[in-house]
Amino acid sequence: MTSDNERIKKEAEEWRKEKASVYKEYVKASVIGLEVGLSLIIGIVCGFFFDRHFVTDPWGIIVGALLGAGAAGRSLYRFSKTYLKEHGSDSDQS
């Protein structure tokens, strides 16, 4: 009976660890989505205020959007680099 309890506890712990790793991946994907969206929004808002202050319509928004897109691309690159380091590349699976 004790061995059954230990086996059940061990299986429950393994299941919990497996679920935790899945949720960690979900959180990482959510964070990268927020980073991309916020990078673009912050760049555009900063460009908008630059335009309003220096009367440079529409160049501030354009430059801000490009800088935001660059920051978003950089965070996507860092995420993909980390992901491939942790999980290996597709060429490893063949």
Tell me the pLDDT tens digit for each residue of 16-67.
888 888 888 889 889 999 999 999 999 999 999 999 999 999 999 999 999 9
Q: Which helix (H) or strand (E) holds 44?
A: helix 2-54
DSSP, residue by residue, 59-83: HHHHHHHHHHHHHHHHHHHHHHHHH
- Buried b vs exposed e over 54-69: b needs ≥16 C-beta within 10 Å? eeeeeebbebbbebbe
Contact 43, 62 (CB under 8 A): no
- pLDDT of residue 6 exceeding 60, the answer is yes
Handedness of CA 74, 79, 84, 89 (dihedral sign): negative
**pTM score, whole prediction:** 0.73
Domain ranges of the chain: 2-87
- pLDDT of residue 91 exceeding 70, the answer is no
Tell me, what's the pLDDT at 21? 84
- pLDDT bin (cut points 50, 70, 90) of residue 94 is very low
Tell me, what's the pLDDT at 76? 94
